[in-house]
Amino acid sequence: MSDLRIRYAVHTDIEPVLRFWQEAAEGTSISDDPDGVARLLARDPESLLLAERDSRLVGTVIAGFDGWRCSAYRLAVHPGCRRQGVATALLEAAERRFEALGGRRVDAMVLEANERAHGAWAAVGYHREDHWRRWVKPL
Ligand SMILES: CC(C)(COP(=O)(O)OP(=O)(O)OC[C@H]1O[C@@H](n2cnc3c(N)ncnc32)[C@H](O)[C@@H]1OP(=O)(O)O)[C@@H](O)C(=O)NCCC(=O)NCCS
Q: ∠73-74-75 over CA atoms, to 5°?
A: 95
- Across the chain, mean pLDDT equals 97
**Mean pLDDT along residues 34-62:** 98
pLDDT at 2: 57
pLDDT at 60: 98
Closest CA to 7 of 51, 61, 62: 51
Say how far residue 25 (Cα) sits from the centre of its chain.
10
Please report the atom of ligand 1 found closest to the CA of residue 82. 8
Provide the greatest CA pair distance for the chain: 43
pLDDT at 48 over 70: yes
pLDDT at 77: 98
CATH number of 4-123: 3.40.630.30
pLDDT at 109 over 90: yes
CB of residue 124 inside a 6 A radius of ligand 1: no
CB of residue 24 inside a 6 A radius of ligand 1: yes
- Give residue-wise pLDDT tens across range 72-94: 999 999 999 999 999 999 999 99
pLDDT at 50: 98
What are the C-alpha distances in Å from 126 to residues 9, 34, 37? 25, 30, 26
- Listed in sequence order, the residues at least 6 apart from 16 whose beta carbon sits closer than 8 Å to its beta carbon are 57
Q: How far is the CA of 121 from the centre of ligand 1 (A)?
A: 8
